Amino acid sequence: QVQLAESGGGLVQAGGSLTLSCVASGRTARDAVMGWFRQAPGKEREFVAGMSRIGDTYYADSVKGRFTISRDKERNAATLQMNSLNPDDSAVYYCASTPRTAFYVSRAYVTDQKSYNTWGQGTRVTISP
What confidence tens digit (pLDDT) does each residue in 93-122 have?
999 999 988 899 999 999 999 999 999 999
Q: Is the pLDDT of residue 72 over 90?
A: no
Average pLDDT over residues 73-82: 88
- Measured CA to CA, the distance from residue 59 to residue 126 in angstroms comes to 20
What percentage of the chain's residues is helix, strand, coil (to nearest 5)?
10, 50, 40
Mean pLDDT for the chain overall: 94
Asked whether the beta carbons of 82 and 66 are under 8 A apart, the reply is yes
Q: Is the pLDDT of residue 51 over 80?
A: yes
Q: What is the reported pLDDT for 36?
A: 98
